Structure 1
Amino acid sequence: MRLLVVFLGLLLVPLVSGAQTSSAVEAAALSTALKKANQLMLERRYESAWKLLKVTDQMNVEPAVALKKTELALNYHIGTEELKRFAFRDLSLLSPSIDSLRQAGNDSVRYSFPVRRVLEKLKEKYPDNYKLDRALGDYYFAVQQCDCAEQDLGEDEVFRRTIQFYQLAHERGQGDYLSYFALGYAYQRLGQFQESLAPFERSIQLRKNYPTAHLNLAFVCLELKEFDKARTHARLAVQLFEDAAHKEDAGFLLAQIEERMKETAASKPQ
């Protein structure tokens, strides 16, 4: 009997080793596919990137692939149905902007990827993966920006969920200047101006030349009657915006701030 046990033990060794080898091969293939998808996205070959990711993980069970699909779907689609189905296109460097192609709306929406459902299922399976919380924050922020999904929730609830998921992600170090801006914006739109200050300031700390964060922070400071700070950030927004329309908006806000400062100074007793 002892000889049989030893013999069976010897049989198990190559099986375990084989499983480890197979897992390593799969991990390497996954890494290669993600790198290739990133390269295709840099080349603006968005449909090719999507097809590669789809083949790599057809059932959306790999968090890393699902996160890359989410990034691609939310940022680079040229058409969507409720953020559940998407259209993509391979573009050349001379092609029109994605925004203009979205507005044209000529592409068939044929790739299924229900973002919220995919991310929520993965979060249930991987509760400690806070990159998924970051992605859910991105999703709800995209919902508000496009006004194209989750109509039953209402805008305030969408903002509350944006805050919920970004806060969880940020507490675990999963944030960048865009997610901090979006968090500040959600607080701002809910009228929670004091709470919006820190996220906007963190966004600017991470990307000093991000004009939209300066503009929104100027607006919040105006609401809180922090006029000097509001004027500083409005001036920076005017300087940093490159397009005429946004520069004009920032200039209009700056004029409002300076007018309020004059009114406040005039109302003080001499």
Structure 2
Amino acid sequence: MRRFVLLLSLLLLPWLGMAQTKAASEAAAQATALRRANQLVLERHYESAWKLLKVLDPLNVEPAVVLQKTELALKYYTDTDELKRFAFRDLKLLDLSPDSLRQLGQDTARYSFPVRQVLEKLQQQNPDNYKLDRALGDYYFTVQQCDCAEQTLGEDEVFRRTIKHYQQAHDHGQGDYLSYFALGYSYQRLGQFTESLAPFERSIQLRKNYPTSHLNLAFVYLELKDFEKARDHARRAQRLFPDAAHKEDAGYLLSQIEERIKTAASSPGLPKAP
């Protein structure tokens, strides 16, 4: 019997080696295609990138490809039908800023990619892949920002789902300054100001010159009546914003904080600035 098992093992070894070689070859090919898709995005050839990813994984079963599709769909669409169908364009490098993509008009959302359903199905199959939680957090934050999907949920529920998925992702090392900002913003909008502090502070640790986190921290500290910290972050935001409109917003908030500091200094019983 042992001799038979040994013989069978020897017969299987070449087949196993071939299978491993094929799997390695397929993984390398996928990695090459993903790098090419990323390069197309950097070149602002968004539709070409989408077509490449679609061919690479037409059934949306490969987590790495789906994650790249999700990022492309949420950031660079020109039109969408409830974040289930998308339109993209190939642009020249100097055509428009990314923020202007939605203003192009005359596009039809023709590429089917129901983001939430695709991610949730993959998450059931890959429960330990916390990059999928990060992507679901991005999805729900996009829902709130664009107000273009999930109309039956209500804004508070969208924020709660954003928090749930980002928190899960962050607990397993999947986060960056933008996801921490979005987590803090979600807590802030729910009125949970104390809970928003740590994510905003972490966002700034990861990108100290990100003005939007400083601005929102200023709002939060103002709500918590910590006027000195509010003033400090408002000043930083005003200094860091590159455009006049946002500088003006930060300057207006700073003036409100200065007024509150004056009121606190002259009113017994209210918090006073040191």
Normalising by structure 1, we get a TM-score of: 0.96
Are residues 229 and 6 of structure 1, via their aligned partners in 2, closer, same or farther at CA, if it must alter by over 3 Å?
closer
Q: Deviations over 1:212-244 (max 9, x none)?
A: 000000000000000000000000011011111
Range that drifts further, 96-105 or 149-158 = 96-105
Partner of 1:149: 149
Aligned length: 269
1:167 aligned counterpart, secondary structure: helix
Deviation at 1:9, TM superposition (A): 3.6
Are residues 1:19 and 2:19 paired? yes
The question of whether the paired residues in 2 share the 8 Å contact of 1:78 and 1:98 is answered with no
1:181 aligned counterpart, secondary structure: helix
Normalising by structure 2, we get a TM-score of: 0.95
Deviation at 1:7, TM superposition (A): 4.6
Partner of 1:66: 66
Are residues 1:247 and 2:247 paired? yes
Are residues 250 and 16 of structure 1, via their aligned partners in 2, closer, same or farther at CA, if it must alter by over 3 Å?
same
The question of whether the paired residues in 1 share the 8 Å contact of 2:76 and 2:101 is answered with no
Partner of 1:136: 136
For 2:92 and 2:69, the matched residues in 1 are separated by 21
Deviation at 1:97, TM superposition (A): 2.5
For 1:213 and 1:87, the matched residues in 2 are separated by 31
State how 1:139-218 maps to structure 2 within 5 Å.
139-218=139-218
Q: What amino acid is aligned across from residue 236 of structure 1 in structure 2?
A: R
Are residues 4 and 206 of structure 1, via their aligned partners in 2, closer, same or farther at CA, if it must alter by over 3 Å?
closer
Range that drifts further, 97-106 or 135-144 = 97-106
Partner of 1:228: 228
For 1:194 and 1:3, the matched residues in 2 are separated by 69
For 2:82 and 2:2, the matched residues in 1 are separated by 64
Are residues 2 and 128 of structure 1, via their aligned partners in 2, closer, same or farther at CA, if it must alter by over 3 Å?
closer
Partner of 2:268: 268
Runs of 5+ consecutive residues of structure 1 not aligned to the other structure: none
Deviation at 1:107, TM superposition (A): 1.3
The question of whether the paired residues in 2 share the 8 Å contact of 1:44 and 1:90 is answered with yes
For 1:48 and 1:257, the matched residues in 2 are separated by 48
Are residues 217 and 5 of structure 1, via their aligned partners in 2, closer, same or farther at CA, if it must alter by over 3 Å?
closer
Deviation at 1:251, TM superposition (A): 0.5
The question of whether the paired residues in 2 share the 8 Å contact of 1:77 and 1:98 is answered with no
Runs of 5+ consecutive residues of structure 2 not aligned to the other structure: 270-274
For 2:24 and 2:266, the matched residues in 1 are separated by 72
State how 1:92-111 maps to structure 2 within 5 Å.
92-111=92-111
Q: Deviations over 1:90-113 (max 9, x none)?
A: 111121223333123221211111
